Amino acid sequence: MKDRITIEGRDGAFDAYIARPKALPAPAVVVLQELFGVNADIRKTCDEMAEQSFIAVAPDLFWRQEPGVDLNHWSDAEWKKGLALYAGYNRNKGVLDIADTAHAAGQLDGTSGKVAVMGFCLGGLMAFLTVARAKIDAAVAYHGGDTEKYLDEAGGITAPMLMHLAEEDEFISKEAQAKIKAALADRPNVEIYSYPGCNHAFARHTGTHYNAAAAAMANRRTWQFLRDRLR
C-alpha cells in the first residue's frame, strides 16, 4: 500500500512518501533522496523495499527550500535546479529532519520499532551523517557524495552500516574512496563494497549509468543486511 504522511518535525511539518508491505509488523527504513527530490525513482525504491517486507518512508528533504520537489535528470533545466537545491541544502538541519522522520517512522502503526536509514548520493551522505549523530538502528549509503569531508565523524557510528561505492564514480574520486575506506577500516560494524566498472548512480533505475547487474547485487546485499540487523 502506498500513500503520503506528514512528519511533524521540530522545525515544522513536511511530507513523506510511504510504502507499506502486505505483512505487518515490519521494520521501517527511511529512504533518503538524491538532488532530484522524492521523484519517481525514489518512490520506486520505496515500493521495492515494501516488497521486501519493510515499511519505507521517504521524507521531503528539500521542504525548507521548496516543498514537493520532483525532478528528473534528463532535463537540463531540472538538473540545474536540482544542483542549486543541493548547493543550498542545510545538511545539519537535514540531519534533524531525518532523525525526526526516523522517530515518526518508529511510531507508525505496524512497525516493529526498528528503524534504519538508507540513502543515495546526497541521501547517502545524509545516511552517514545521521547514523553518526543520531540514534539509528542501521544505515545504508549508496555512493554518498562528500562523505570524505566528514570522516572526522566516523567515530560516532556505532550502529551497523553498509556502504556501496562505484569504483569509477565521477563525483567521488578514487582518492576520496580510499580515504573513506581507510577511515572506516578498523570499524567492525561498517561494511564497504566496491563495484568495478560502475559510475555514480549505478543503482538509479532510470540513470544514465544504471548497471542492472551491479544494482541487483547491491540491493540484495542491502536487503539481507537490513533483515539481519533489524530483526
What Cα–Cα distance (Å) separates residue 50 from each residue in 1, 21, 174, 217? 8, 4, 34, 18
What distance, in Å, lies between the first and last C-alpha atoms of the chain? Answer: 22
Q: Are strands 138-142 and 55-59 parallel, antiparallel or unpaired?
A: unpaired
> What is the per-residue pLDDT for 207?
83
Q: Are strands 12-19 and 55-59 parallel, antiparallel or unpaired?
A: antiparallel
Region 56-76 average pLDDT: 95
For the chain, domain boundaries: 2-229
69/209 Cα distance (integer angstroms): 23
Within the chain, where are the H helices? Answer: 40-51, 76-88, 91-107, 122-133, 174-184, 212-229
Residue 104 pLDDT more than 80? yes
> What is the per-residue pLDDT for 2?
64
Region 201-225 average pLDDT: 95
Q: What is the mean pLDDT of the chain?
A: 96
Residue 129 pLDDT more than 70? yes
Q: What confidence category does residue 185 fall into, taking pLDDT thresholds of 50, 70 and 90?
A: very high
Per the rule left: phi > 0, alpha: psi between -120 and 50, beta: everything else, 21 is beta
Residues with a catalytic annotation lie at: 169, 200
CATH H superfamily, domain 2-229? Alpha/Beta hydrolase fold, catalytic domain (3.40.50.1820)
